[in-house]
Amino acid sequence: MSRRATARPTTDRRVLDEVGGLRAMTWVMAIMLFLTMLAAALGLGTASAARLLDRQLVGRLTVQIVDGEPSRRDATAARILAAVRRLPDVSRATPVDPAELTRLLRPWLGSDGADPQLPVPAMIDVDLASEAGAARVAAAVRAINPAARVDRHESWMSPVSSFMTSLTWLAFALVLLMAGATAAVVVLAARAGLEAHRPTIEVMHMLGSTDLQVARLFQRRIALDATYGGVVGGIGALGVAAIIGVRLQLLGSELLSGAMLSPADWVLLACLPVGFVLLATLSARVTIVRALRRTL
C-alpha cells in the first residue's frame, strides 16, 4: 500500500471534521430549509386560493331591485328574472331567498332585519355563459327598471384577488431570498473550513492531491450537513404544512379550503430538499475551487 493511500483516510477525517456528531452547520441548514419550505407552501396555497377565487367570480353578477313597495318590488324582480333567463349568455339565474337576506342582515340589524316593512332589496344571482354577456344583462335589467343595480362579483372582490396575488409573489420572493441566504451560508462555511484546514491542505498538495480532490472533500462534508439538515427541516416543514391544511379544512370556508395544497404542490415541496442539497453542494464546490486557485 502506498504512502498516499495510507495518508488519505487520516486526511479525510481531519478535513471532514466529523468528530462530535452533528455540527452546528446541520442545524443552520435545517432551519433555512424549514423556513424556505414554509414560504413555498404559503405561495402555493395562496396561488391555489387565488385561482379558485377567480374561477368563482369571473362571469358572476348580482342584480339588486330596490323599491319601498314590496309588491311592486317583487313584481319587478319577477319580470327581470324572466327577461334575464331568456338571454342566451346566461347559464343560470336564481332569486336570492329573502330569509337568507334576513340572516345576513341580522348581525347589523338584529331582530329588525325580519321586519316586513323594512325595504330590503330583491336580489338575483346570475351566472354568465360568457363574459361578454354582462353588458346584455345590464341592458335587459335597466330596460325594465332603470334604478336596478347590476354588480359584478369580480369588481368588488378584485382587491382581495389582487392581495392574494401579491402575497403569492411575496412568498416566492422569500423562497428566492432564502435560497440566496443558504448559498451565502455555505460559502462562509466553506471559506471558514478552508482557512481552518489550510495546513492540512498544504500537506495534501505536497502529497500530490489536486485542487479538485481537496474541493471534493469539502463538498462531501457540506453535502452531508445539507442532507441531514434537509431531512430534519423538510420533515418539520411538511408536518407543519399538513397540520395547517387540516385546520383550514375544519374551518369550512370555501375560500380558505381553496388554499389546500394539491398533490402536485406536495410533490414540489418534497423536491425542495433535493434542490437544497444540490445548491449547497454546488456552492461549496465553486467556492473552494476558486479559493484554492487564488490563494494556494
- The pLDDT tens digits for 185-222 are 888 887 777 777 677 766 776 776 676 777 777 778 88
Going from N- to C-terminal start, the domains of the chain cover: 3-55+158-295, 67-147
Locate cell 446541520: which residue? Answer: 26
Which amino acid belongs to residue 114?
Answer: A
Q: Answer yes or no: pTM beyond 0.85.
A: no
Which SS3 state, helix, strand or coil, does residue 215 take? helix
Which SS3 state, helix, strand or coil, does residue 65 take? strand
CB 190 within 8 A of CB 225: no
What angle do helix axes 263-295 and 211-251 make, rounded to 10 degrees?
160
pLDDT in tens, 223-264: 888 888 889 999 999 999 889 888 877 776 666 666 788 888
Mean of the pLDDT values across residues 137-154?
81
CB 272 within 8 A of CB 36: yes
d(CA 57, CA 127): 9
Q: Which three cell numbers stand for residue 108?
A: 347589523
Q: Which three cell numbers stand for residue 126?
A: 346570475
| Residue 140: closest CA among 95, 102, 83 | 83
